[in-house]
């Protein structure tokens, strides 16, 4: 049952093939067995998960037919969860217990999903490999010597490794879609404003968006049906009707105009990924879609623009972590300046400090117009490029990432790491919906097909992705279990702080 999709699990629960308690216990057993190797979970809440599952079984016996009722779920540890540690993968928040649930957590709880725990992530969502977490790096279930992608790598590894059937993630510049590509699963980022950001710890407020990590596009549609909608507590939440995402899965590919972005098929794209993505596009064409070459002339500026805008917003958002109100506080500060300096120096990791410095510089007097304002102008140009393209095509499709997952420690140069999101960042700058679906393997590792739609075309993007998955079986390919022994060699050392929260019940070995 652990490798069934959410859609299949819901059908099996409805017909009584097994109970939610049995399914939840199987997931918890899998976490106990595999998480020491994958390090996908930071926190596991075994006791409350089984209680929620028992409640779901009682509700189903009373005739409750909610699609996600009794389905186990994991939340990226960036979503506030009432009374449960929310660390953001950082020493700064390792003891933080929120007094409320994030909007996304509320909605999925109302849908009847069973919370298994919180997944590992790059610190404050800053990274493309899930190596910057205070709680140690996450490993790719297809090969634990490789990274799972980031920053939602813990959620991606948990779904790909069979630890849970669905998980939430956040996407600021590709942080759902890139790990989905590396781990061979489906990762969906909706339009900016489609899903509430309330209670989601901020990195870059104009770019962050909550989304889903699942096995299939049909599963993502079920999650989106529960997650989407106006939240008056979030000033960026959009007030527009929620579409029937699952109902649009039957969209026909015949006559669909698919834009193929020429800038994404140039130097830097690995030969194996290019060949596989072109084969995937060929499947769409054989099903009746029309492939149309398009240009996105300002796409090459997306990475430099993003790495001005995002660090600038991070500098402002993370200024609240000063040792005064909540979060980490240094020992015995001499004065206020010492409190600020040592708290932030000790509480933040290297990548977070690097981006704060870049962002503070970009916002400083004398440089604001030269950097931040110019980056925002480029952002408008990128959005205009997409608008012109969507006047000619219905969706845009290309590679999610230039290559497959790389080895731990292989990207020591920060700039080289920043280029990992070169095909995904522009989508966040424009606020568009996009999905990565498994499209092939290169050297034994998965890669994804990236499908982008116009503003608030979630149903169309999910429908096209679903139809692609009816034509191919890449989303059914599972990791090789032989790689997951806790004693497998070559694993990078984990940082395991003595006071790390391993579970709500202090169960040993969850991370």
Active site residue 345: no
- For residue 241, with 0-12 CB atoms within 10 Å meaning exposed, 13-18 middle and 19 or more buried, which class applies? exposed
- For residue 394, with 0-12 CB atoms within 10 Å meaning exposed, 13-18 middle and 19 or more buried, which class applies? buried
End-to-end CA distance of the chain: give it in Å, rounded: 24
What is the secondary structure of 447-472 as a DSSP string? Answer: EEEEEE-STT-HHHHHHHHHHHHHH-
Contact 135, 38 (CB under 8 A): no
CA neighbor of 39 nearest in space, from 125, 127, 122 = 122
Active site residue 196: no
Residue whose tokens read 């990195």: 203
CA distances from 152 to 125, 192, 501 (A): 7, 17, 19
| Marked catalytic residue, from 133, 151, 315, 457 | 151
Tell me the C-alpha distance between 118 and 76, whole Å: 5
How many C-beta neighbours within 10 Å does residue 267 have? 5
What is the secondary structure of 2-31 as a DSSP string? Answer: TTS-HHHHHHHHHTTSS-HHHHHHHHHHHH
Structure tokens at 102: 């994030």
Tell me the C-alpha distance between 36 and 494, whole Å: 10
Which helix (H) or strand (E) segment holds residue 157: the answer is helix 153-160
Active site residue 175: yes
| Marked catalytic residue, from 20, 129, 133, 175 | 175
Contacts of 18 (CB under 8 A, 6+ apart): 1, 12
DSSP 172: S
- For residue 15, with 0-12 CB atoms within 10 Å meaning exposed, 13-18 middle and 19 or more buried, which class applies? exposed
Q: Which residues carry out catalysis? A: 76, 151, 175
């Amino acid at each position: 049952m652990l490798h069934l999709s959410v859609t299949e699990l819901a059908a099996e629960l409805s017909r009584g093939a097994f109970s939610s308690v049995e399914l939840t216990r199987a997931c918890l057993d899998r976490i106990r067995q595999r998480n020491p190797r994958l390090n996908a979970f930071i926190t596991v809440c075994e006791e409350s998960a089984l209680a929620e599952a028992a409640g779901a079984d009682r509700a189903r016996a009373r005739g409750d037919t909610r699609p996600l009722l009794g389905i186990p779920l994991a939340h990226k540890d960036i979503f506030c969860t009432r009374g449960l540690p929310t660390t953001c993968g950082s020493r700064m928040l390792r003891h933080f217990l929120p007094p409320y649930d994030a909007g996304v957590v509320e909605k999925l709880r109302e849908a009847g999903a069973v919370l298994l725990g919180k997944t590992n992530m790059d610190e404050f969502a800053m990274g493309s490999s899930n190596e910057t977490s205070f709680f140690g790096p996450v490993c790719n279930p297809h090969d634990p010597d490789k990274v799972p992608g980031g920053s939602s790598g813990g959620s991606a590894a948990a779904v790909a490794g069979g630890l849970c059937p669905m998980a939430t993630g956040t996407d600021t510049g590709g942080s759902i879609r890139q790990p989905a590509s590396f781990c061979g699963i489906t990762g969906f980022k909706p339009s900016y404003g489609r899903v509430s950001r309330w209670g989601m710890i901020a990195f870059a407020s104009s770019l962050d968006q909550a989304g889903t990590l699942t096995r299939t596009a049909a599963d993502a549609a079920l999650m989106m049906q529960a997650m989407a909608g106006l939240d008056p507590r979030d000033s960026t939440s959009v007030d527009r009707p929620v579409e029937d995402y699952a109902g649009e899965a039957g969209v026909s590919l015949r006559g669909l105009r698919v834009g193929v972005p020429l800038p994404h098929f140039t130097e830097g794209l690995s030969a194996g990924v290019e060949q596989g993505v072109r084969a995937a596009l060929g499947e769409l064409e054989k099903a009746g879609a029309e492939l149309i070459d398009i240009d996105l002339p300002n796409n090459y500026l997306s990475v430099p623009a993003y790495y001005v805008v995002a660090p600038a917003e991070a500098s402002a958002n993370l200024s609240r972590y000063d040792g005064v109100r909540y979060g980490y506080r240094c020992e015995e500060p001499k004065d206020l300046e010492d409190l600020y300096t040592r708290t932030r120096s000790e509480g933040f990791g290297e990548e977070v400090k690097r981006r704060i410095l870049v962002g503070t510089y970009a916002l400083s007097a004398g440089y604001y117009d030269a950097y931040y304002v110019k980056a925002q102008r480029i952002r408008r140009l990128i959005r205009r490029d997409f608008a012109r393209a969507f006047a000619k095509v219905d969706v845009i499709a290309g590679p999610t990432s230039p290559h497959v997952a790389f080895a731990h420690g292989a990207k020591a140069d920060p700039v080289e790491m920043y280029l990992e999101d070169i095909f995904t960042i522009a989508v966040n700058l424009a606020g568009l919906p996009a999905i990565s679906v498994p499209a092939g393997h290169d050297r034994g590792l998965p890669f994804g097909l990236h499908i982008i739609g116009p503003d608030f075309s979630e149903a169309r993007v999910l429908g096209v992705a679903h139809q692609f998955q009816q034509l191919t079986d890449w989303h059914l390919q599972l990791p090789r279990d032989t790689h997951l022994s806790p004693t497998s060699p070559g694993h990078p050392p984990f940082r395991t702080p003595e006071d790390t929260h391993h579970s709500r019940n202090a169960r040993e070995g969850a991370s």
